[in-house]
């Protein structure tokens, strides 16, 4: 009996070897191409086949009928998954990397697997009729589980058979397409699946007809070998290698591929041209020997896994000087495909020539920029000096204008009964009120300078009226009122801002806020702000200072009059500002106080 067991255990070794072979091939495939979807699909298929084989071995090794039924039930989901894996691999192999499998096809692949899983669970739990009929419960070790398949089992087998057939159709259509990629590799895959279709499909159908439960998994070995060859021979070392070779030879920069001992294992056409060699004479030659006569920077760069240097080759044999940037690159520590090193010569002759030309152009541009900058600096200095001189002249002119206006104002006042400092005080009063009203600094200066000219029109008033000691008649008063119109006529013809402001003040300084003033009877905001300001200032100075024809009013009397006339003769806001700044007003009155008259000799 022991001899029988030992001899039959030996028969299980081929199956165990196939399982190990499938797992090993799956690991190698993932290691070399895990980033590719077709390789991942192939590896999953191999793992499923290995599991299928293990289940088959366990069924053969078991002796109890219940155990054989258990392992045979498990094989149905694995068989459905393997059949779906063949179709999935075929689809992944023929389509582009960016394409996705339609959801309907995925459902057609996964739904049968789910049905098989549910049927296997039912059979293990006692509902064996789902998958089996006429079960042989004798059971012998090292024999398959014998039964008659149910309708569902036949349907699952037939559907898996159709999936393998569909995979063959997919591959055949791809091979016959006008612009098929990897046509040769697809032919290998079709040959593998075709052999499986004949050996496994037809053989399983025959054995199931005679009561056998599972066909040997070894029939898939030939198919797997052909599939692996299509992936890692044609896909990686076939057309792809030729394409890389063609691309490398089209590079204009010389490229050397060095092996572990720094011997040249490959180079492109540009590299052979650089060294004046033909064919494969460079292959197998040490890179250090090839570049021994070159500048030492080339061989020094080979001492490092990553390096970059530049060199200029001297003129020789009528060949003009060339400049190169030499780059050294090596495989990473994670790359186990073997030690290698790349030596790339980038021709930078044109770049260096352009750099020299650009440097010369920049130097010339910098020279002209310096020249132009110096000229601009001189021009700016001259313009600044001219502007400064113009500013000084403008200031001098403005100062002269003010002095002329003050002198003219004093001449006018000297003819009348006003005091000498009256025009000065009115101008300073106007400064305080215009500042308090919120006028700009420039406007404040114009009002201050123009205010003293408010009575310039009196120059046209006869002395008999202007210097009359008593009260004026109505006719004389009408003549006196004309000094506002005359002042505007005298000053209004000028375009100077100062004189134009003085003309407005001369014309409007006797207007009243309530419209009862003269010469136009203008009221409220229609009166210019400068006219409203000077009107108040003129009245205050006339009342608060002593004149030859009257005594000065007490301050309280003057302020009482201003409060009474707020909103009548004067703008209320100006009256408020005046009262708020009364201390500043009085300080001006004191600073510009009239001197007592000098007694006659």
**pLDDT, position 231:** 63
CA dist 38 → 357, 393, 507 (Å) = 54, 92, 103
**pLDDT, position 528:** 94
Dihedral, CA of residue 540, residue 546, residue 547 and residue 550, to nearest 10: 100
**pLDDT, position 597:** 52
Helices (H), 251-348: 269-275, 287-290, 296-301
Averaged pLDDT for residues 66-80: 82
DSSP string, 552-564: PPPHHHHHHHHHH
Whether residues 105 and 181 fall in one domain: yes
Whether residues 292 and 185 fall in one domain: no
Is 394 inside a domain boundary? Answer: no
The segment with the largest mean pLDDT, out of 101-105, 307-311, 387-391, is 307-311
Residue 10 has pLDDT above 80, yes or no: no
Whether residues 229 and 330 fall in one domain: no
Is 315 inside a domain boundary? Answer: yes
* Mean pLDDT computed over every residue of the chain: 77
Whether residues 18 and 151 fall in one domain: yes
* More reliable by pLDDT, 504 or 208: 504
**pLDDT, position 79:** 82
**pLDDT, position 570:** 95
The segment with the largest mean pLDDT, out of 294-298, 462-466, 533-537, is 533-537
Per residue in 398-413, pLDDT tens?
A: 665 566 665 665 555 5
Q: Among 194-203, 277-286, 427-436, which is the least confidently predicted range?
A: 194-203
Is 596 inside a domain boundary? Answer: no
Angle CA 578–584–589, to nearest 5: 100
**Which structural domain range is residue 315 located in?**
252-347
**pLDDT, position 256:** 85
Q: Which of 530, 527, 535 is nearest to 510 (CA)?
A: 535
Whether residues 135 and 38 fall in one domain: yes
The segment with the largest mean pLDDT, out of 99-108, 179-188, 245-254, 363-372, is 363-372
Whether residues 217 and 99 fall in one domain: yes
Residue 548 has pLDDT above 90, yes or no: no
Per residue in 97-138, pLDDT tens?
A: 556 778 887 787 788 888 888 888 888 888 888 888 877 665
Residue 298 has pLDDT above 90, yes or no: no
């Amino acid at each position: 009996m022991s001899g029988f067991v030992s001899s039959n255990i030996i028969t299980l070794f081929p199956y165990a070897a196939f399982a190990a072979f499938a797992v090993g091939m799956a690991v190698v495939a993932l290691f070399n191409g895990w980033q590719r979807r077709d390789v991942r699909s192939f590896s999953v298929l191999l793992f499923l086949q290995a599991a299928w084989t293990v289940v088959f071995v366990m069924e053969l090794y078991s002796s109890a009928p219940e155990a054989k039924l258990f392992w045979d039930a498990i094989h149905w989901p694995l068989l459905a998954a393997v059949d779906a894996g063949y179709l999935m691999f075929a689809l992944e192999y023929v389509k582009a990397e960016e394409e996705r499998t339609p959801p309907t096809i995925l459902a057609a692949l996964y739904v049968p697997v789910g049905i098989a899983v549910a049927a296997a669970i039912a059979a293990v739990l006692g509902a064996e009729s789902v998958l089996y009929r006429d079960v042989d419960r004798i059971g012998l070790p090292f024999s398959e589980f014998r039964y008659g398949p149910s309708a569902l089992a036949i349907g699952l087998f037939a559907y898996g058979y159709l999936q393998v057939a569909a995979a063959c159709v997919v591959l055949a259509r791809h091979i016959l397409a006008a612009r098929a990629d990897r046509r040769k590799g697809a032919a290998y895959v079709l040959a593998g699946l075709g052999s499986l279709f004949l050996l496994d499909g037809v053989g399983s159908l025959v054995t199931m007809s005679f009561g056998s439960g599972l066909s040997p998994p070894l029939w898939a070995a030939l198919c797997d070998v052909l599939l692996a060859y299509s992936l890692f021979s044609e896909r990686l070392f076939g057309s792809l290698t030729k394409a890389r070779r063609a691309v490398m030879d089209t590079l204009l920069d010389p490229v050397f591929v060095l092996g572990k001992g720094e011997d040249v294992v490959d180079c492109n056409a540009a590299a052979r041209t650089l060294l004046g060699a033909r064919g494969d004479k460079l292959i197998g030659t040490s890179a250090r020997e090839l570049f021994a006569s070159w500048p030492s920077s080339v061989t020094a760069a080979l001492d490092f896994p990553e390096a970059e240097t530049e060199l200029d080759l001297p003129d020789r044999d009528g060949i003009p000087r060339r400049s190169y940037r030499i780059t050294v690159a090596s495989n990473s520590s994670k790359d186990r495909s073997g030690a290698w090193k790349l030596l790339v010569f980038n021709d930078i002759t044109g770049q260096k020539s352009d750099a020299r030309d650009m440097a010369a152009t920049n130097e010339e541009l910098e020279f002209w920029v310096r020249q132009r900058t110096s000229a601009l600096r001189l021009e700016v200095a001259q313009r600044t000096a001219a502007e400064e001189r113009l500013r000084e002249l403008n200031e001098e002119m403005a100062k002269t204008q003010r002095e002329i206006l003050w002198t003219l104002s004093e001449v006018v006042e000297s003819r009348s009964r006003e005091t000498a400092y009256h025009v000065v005080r009115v101008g300073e009063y106007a400064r305080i009120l215009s500042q308090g009203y919120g006028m700009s600094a420039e406007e404040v200066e114009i009002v201050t300078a123009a205010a003293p000219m408010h009575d310039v029109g009196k120059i046209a008033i006869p002395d008999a009226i202007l210097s009359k000691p008593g009260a004026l008649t109505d006719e004389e008063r009408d003549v006196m009122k004309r000094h506002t119109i005359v002042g505007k006529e005298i000053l209004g013809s000028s375009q100077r801002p100062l004189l134009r402001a003085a003309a407005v003040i001369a014309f409007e300084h006797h207007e009243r806020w309530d419209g009862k003033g003269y010469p136009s009877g203008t009221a409220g905001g229609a009166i210019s702000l400068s006219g409203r300001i000077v009107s108040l200032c003129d009245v205050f100075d006339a009342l608060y200072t002593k004149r030859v024809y009257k005594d000065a009013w007490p301050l309280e009397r003057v302020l009482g009059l201003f409060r009474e006339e707020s909103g009548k003769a004067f703008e209320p806001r100006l009256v408020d500002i005046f009262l708020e700044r009364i201390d500043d007003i009085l300080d001006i009155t004191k600073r510009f106080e009239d001197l007592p008259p000098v007694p006659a000799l």
